[in-house]
Amino acid sequence: MFGLFGGRSGHPMADLESARELLEEVPKNDALKALIEITAWVDSVRGDGRMRLDTRFDVLCLLDETARPHEIKVLRDYFTNGVNSPVLEKRQWNALNEYYANLGEAYHGLLIGCHNGEKGASALRDLRQKIVARGLNAAAGRLKCAAVHYAPVDPAIWQQLGEYYAEAETQKSLDETIELYPGASEKHSVRHQFAGVLIWWASGTGSFKPLQIHLAERLAAHLCGSLTMGPEPGEDVLYTFDLTQPKPPARYDGSAEAHPNLRFVGHGEVRIQLDPLLEKLDDDMVPGEINLGGTYGADVVGEVVRRMTAGWLAEPPSRRHARRSLDVNLNVVKGYSGLIDVANLADGQDGDSMVWVAQDVSATGFRCTLDAAQGAGLKIGSLVGFRPENVLNWGAGIVRRLRRDDEGNLDVGVEILANRTARVKLGEESGPAASVDSFALWLGVAGTEAGEARLLLKPGSLDESKTLRMQMGGKPYVLAPWAVLEKTDDYDMVKYRVTE
């Protein structure tokens, strides 16, 4: 719509001075609104074909740097658990996703313009590394938005990532350290920046909760300086990435042979950073040099570090239990309240349940593909109760993996906690007799002799640090607390020592 008359751009931001004046009108104290307004400017600037390429670069960098503090603020607010309403979370996610998408296309457009020799391209000859690094950062933001929704990734993102890396190789700037933004604490080369993005994505984004996805991405950015990436597989190789294929990184299984477009990502000397980091986290300290985009507890950060890096320094685990591909109808209830309700029904009764079809089943888990209605409300860590056809009792499982396909269906991986559960009455050993209100879910009714057992409790219903009495099958038992295995808003999973 700009520059309809004459050969020069008529865009309001056709020069830096005009752009700075217009950006003065962006709200200073409303990060979400500011990000949305700047996104609109990025969209209009990248779409103006009459603007010289070097001018477009200058204006886009100004827009990007002006948006940076607002972007960081919206990210921090988005990942503040339990504070935002669903409506606000949706607005924040949409704003971030639109910003990264437009910014990513803008930097990619600059790179294409350089290759096509557009007017002003020669002035950007020594600035291509900055275009590549900023483009990589925007692409990582788009991946992050997809990851927190367990959504499919636009193949064009992987394609653009490959083009950015190939460009840095061609320009022989892969190993030049760059300050991504003025005053940024993290300074990395394109090689390390790229390796960090790939290894973060491949290290369990589909099995992390949204906050864990964010922390894993920040930790990968912190550790990426120790990673390796190159055209030949070293002894430390973990993943492969084809620069010409619009596909995510793949786990290296030893069979992939080097070819001109294949790159290998390895853990390098990451242990040099990892061991001291874990020691500090074990001492309840989060090192100040790690930019996590917010303040988080050492226990939360430590869990992510251990889960994310578990496969980096060891051989990938082989499957212990055979997985069978077959369709099994499961009656399913969601959440602690749903499971404790059906656990009290007579054997074979389903209550208010729905039917899922499990395609892959093993002794430790199953996988289902659900439509939008069936998958509503599910997240990593959700508790589900299940009862296969022709089976009388209810089992319990936890959602450990999520991924959406292009049709909006949800691929769900469930870890089986127990194939048979029972509702039991509990009370503190020193308190009054267990009341009908003090219920828990016993994960497996066998093995009640001296030993260990896991129970699911309603959060806050009982003090998990105290010894409990339990009535089950007409017999009394004593439960001595051992360890809290998992705590969520819906349930606590606690391990006890059990004696009759």
Q: What pLDDT score does 406 carry? A: 87
CATH superfamily of this structure's domain 324-418: predicted glycosyltransferase like domains (2.40.10.220)
Paired strand residues for 456? 441, 493
Q: Which long-range contacts (CB under 8 A, 24 or more apart) does 312-319 make?
A: 312/199, 312/203, 312/238, 312/267, 312/270, 313/267, 313/270, 313/271, 313/274, 316/251, 319/362
Q: Alpha-carbon Rg of the chain, whole angstroms?
A: 27
Model confidence at 320, in pLDDT bands (50, 70, 90)?
Answer: low
Helix runs in 149-209, H state only: 155-170, 190-202
Q: What pLDDT score does 426 carry? A: 86
Positive/negative CA dihedral, 439, 444, 450, 453: negative
Decide if pLDDT at 65 tops 50: yes
The mean pLDDT of 401-420, rounded to a whole number, is 93
Q: What residues contact 393, with CB distance under 8 A and at least 6 apart?
A: 347, 387, 419, 420, 421
For the ranges 200-209, 456-465, 477-486, which has the lowest average pLDDT?
456-465
Output 410 or 461, whichever has higher pLDDT: 410
Q: What pLDDT score does 93 carry? A: 97
Report the range out of 18-22, 182-186, 308-312 with the highest average pLDDT.
18-22
Q: Which DSSP category does 153 fall into?
A: P
Q: Write down the pTM of the prediction.
A: 0.87
Model confidence at 62, in pLDDT bands (50, 70, 90)?
Answer: very high
Helix runs in 24-170, H state only: 31-46, 53-78, 86-116, 128-148, 155-170
Whole-number percent of the chain with pLDDT over 90: 68
Model confidence at 2, in pLDDT bands (50, 70, 90)?
Answer: very low
Are β-strands 439-443 and 354-361 bridged in parallel, bridged antiparallel, or unpaired? Answer: unpaired
- Alpha carbon separation from 130 to 108, 166, 292 (Å, rounded): 12, 14, 23
Q: What pLDDT score does 347 carry? A: 63
Q: What pLDDT score does 431 carry? A: 56
Tokens 């808003």 locate to 489
Q: What pLDDT score does 444 carry? A: 64
Average pLDDT, the chain: 89
Decide if pLDDT at 223 tops 70: yes
Exposed / middle / buried, residue 433 (Cβ in 10 Å: 0-12, 13-18, 19+): exposed
Q: What pLDDT score does 361 carry? A: 87
Whole-number percent of the chain with pLDDT over 70: 91
Beta strands in 185-243 (DSSP E): 187-188, 228-230, 237-242
Q: What pLDDT score does 316 carry? A: 55
Model confidence at 448, in pLDDT bands (50, 70, 90)?
Answer: very low
